Amino acid sequence: MKHRSQISILSVPNLQGEHFSFAVENCPQYCVPVEDSLPDQVECLLREYNNHSLLIGSSFGGLAAWTFSAEQCPNGLEGLVLIDVLPSLDYFPRWRLLGVHLSPLLPKKLTQSIYNKYRLVCGQSDDHNLEKISRRIHSIIEKFPVQEFPIPTLVLSSNKRFHKEWLRLSNSHKQLSAQRINNPSNQIIEWLQLKCILNKEYAGSSPDC
């Protein structure tokens, strides 16, 4: 695999439409808009992808980027970074599944208010539409990606259970690496150098490619 002193990054948003902030000097980063379902997000990537060398996605966006790389794997794509992504549907939080199933049975104003308060308690923005969030979650359940990793893939997890399963999967998939989140920007840069996606002369040394 060739290595580059510059890479082009395409970022895919999470359930709330938020992008993971990551910057490398002289490496442009582009963002795609959030869509209402996992298949729609993958279709968006098909439209927006323009020979970018790295895909980064967190949560919902990570699942879309994972699906895109497994199904399409364009020649220019050299790496995939997944942040806090479910390793399988078995790891989907039960309370969230319960909420998705119950929310259509309750008044919209009530469920939206509960969701807004939950977001505020978590220290997050409360200006997100719960109906759209629910549609995205339903699409994840219906169209979860297959466990294929045709390109070097780094998974960073803050959830211990997620990390343990990703670590297990990495023993069976040679292109897959799993780490607990510590300093994500540094971890991504070091991994890019290790995989020779980013030139080893950038910010220090790495093994010869």
Give the pLDDT band (50/70/90) at residue 24.
confident
Is residue 34 within 8 A of residue 43, CB to CB? The reply is: no
Give the pLDDT band (50/70/90) at residue 198.
confident
> Residue 92's pLDDT is what?
80
Question: What average pLDDT does the segment 4-28 reach?
Answer: 84
Phi, psi of 82 (to 5 degrees): -115, 130
Residue type at 55 in one-letter notation = L
Is residue 60 within 8 A of residue 37, CB to CB? The reply is: no
> Residue 124's pLDDT is what?
64
End-to-end C-alpha distance for the chain, whole angstroms: 8
Give the pLDDT band (50/70/90) at residue 25.
confident
Please check the confidence at residue 56 and state whether its pLDDT lies above 90: yes
Please check the confidence at residue 112 and state whether its pLDDT lies above 70: no
> Residue 208's pLDDT is what?
41
- Which of 137-141, 155-159, 202-206 shows the lowest mean pLDDT across its residues? 202-206
> Residue 1's pLDDT is what?
43
Query: Which CATH architecture fits 9-91+147-194?
Result: 3-Layer(aba) Sandwich (3.40)
Work out the percent of the chain whose per-residue pLDDT is above 70.
76
> Residue 106's pLDDT is what?
58
What CA–CA distance (Å, rounded) separates 120 from 74? Answer: 40
Higher pLDDT, 106 or 24: 24
> Residue 149's pLDDT is what?
96
pLDDT tens track for 119-139:
676 666 656 676 788 889 889
Is residue 59 within 8 A of residue 84, CB to CB? The reply is: yes
Shortest CA distance to 83 belongs to which of 101, 60, 106? 60
Phi, psi of 14 (to 5 degrees): -85, -170
Please check the confidence at residue 104 and state whether its pLDDT lies above 70: no
Phi, psi of 70 (to 5 degrees): -70, -40
- Which of 12-26, 37-51, 76-90 shows the lowest mean pLDDT across its residues? 12-26
Question: What average pLDDT does the segment 68-77 reach?
Answer: 94
Please check the confidence at residue 47 and state whether its pLDDT lies above 60: yes
For the chain, the C-alpha Rg in angstroms (whole number) is 18
By residue count, the chain amounts to 209
Higher pLDDT, 111 or 89: 89
Helix H or strand E encompassing 193: helix 184-194
Kindly list the domain boundaries of the chain, sorted by start residue.
9-91+147-194, 94-136
